[in-house]
Amino acid sequence: QQQVKQSPQSLIVQKGGISIINCAYENTAFDYFPWYQQFPGKGPALLIAIRPDVSEKKEGRFTISFNKSAKQFSLHIMDSQPGDSATYFCLVISNFGNEKLTFGTGTRLTIIP
Amino acid sequence: DTGVSQDPRHKITKRGQNVTFRCDPISEHNRLYWYRQTLGQGPEFLTYFQNEAQLEKSRLLSDRFSAERPKGSFSTLEIQRTEQGDSAMYLCASSLVGTAINTGELFFGEGSRLTVL
């Protein structure tokens, strides 16, 4: 079972601030690194994703940074808004044999006024 | 609504009873996944299908759990002799073969919450 360590477990950020969530994975080749966002009572939904041959990807206020040598990738939310309050999960996808999709443990983000 | 739908949304049962959850994926999606999510945790993989074939089962899926996708469309997840530890949100997701690898995207339903008393 692949280990995916996500931190922090919870995060409180002031409105307008930068939210940073990190994921670390084990020594295995992965093919994709998405971040998912989940609101209470809803299923997770894809937010942004990056391939391992790219070091950074930006979509609006959301940026993924990927550090292959450190086996880490992170989600940055710029100008954080109350509507960003949700739980965020990283996902690692491996194409060893059958696809293996392993979620991180989640970060509960709260944006305060 | 053409998204992934799950039924029932919430099930309360007594320990020892059997429960069944249904998932209807997006119509053209041939991959279907089941995950279990407990409070404060990320979704844990249970099993997945490609069309009607069950390709992988997690060790989490004890012999009390069974999943089917008989015609390659909807899927059912049955839990026999439920235990309090089975209380969780059961999530279903679907995708096209190769989509997860190439885009990182799974389409999730809103889940079926099981409470075992």
User: pLDDT-derived band of residue A98, with 50, 70 and 90 as boundaries?
Assistant: low
Searching chain B, which residue's CA lies closest to the CA of residue A6? B42
A4 chain-B contacts, CB cut-off 8 A:
42
- Asked if B55 reaches chain A (Cβ–Cβ under 8 Å), the answer is yes
- Tell me if A106 and B41 make a contact (CB, 8 A cut-off): yes
pLDDT score recorded for residue B99: 79
- Contact B74/A at CB under 8 A: no
- Beta-ladder partners of B95: B31
Task: Name every chain B residue with its beta carbon within 8 A of the beta carbon of A96.
Answer: none
- A80: its two tokens: 């954080």
Distance CA A36, CA B18 (A): 32
E strand segments, chain A? 4-7, 10-14, 19-25, 33-38, 45-50, 56-59, 62-67, 72-77, 86-94, 100-103, 107-112
- Establish if B108 touches chain A: CB-CB under 8 angstroms: yes
pLDDT of amino acid A97: 60
pLDDT tens for chain B, 117 residues long, are 579 999 999 999 999 999 999 999 999 999 999 999 998 889 999 999 999 999 988 887 889 999 999 988 999 999 999 999 999 999 999 998 877 777 888 999 999 999 999
pLDDT higher than threshold 90 for residue A95: no
The 3-state secondary structure of chain B reads CCCCEEECCEEEECCCCCEEEEEECCCCCCEEEEEEECCCCCCEEEEEEECCEEEEECCCCCCCEEEECCCCCCEEEEECCCCHHHCEEEEEEEECCCHHHHHCCCEECCCEEEEEC
Statement: residue A70 has pLDDT above 90: no
Closest-CA residue of A relative to B107 is: A45
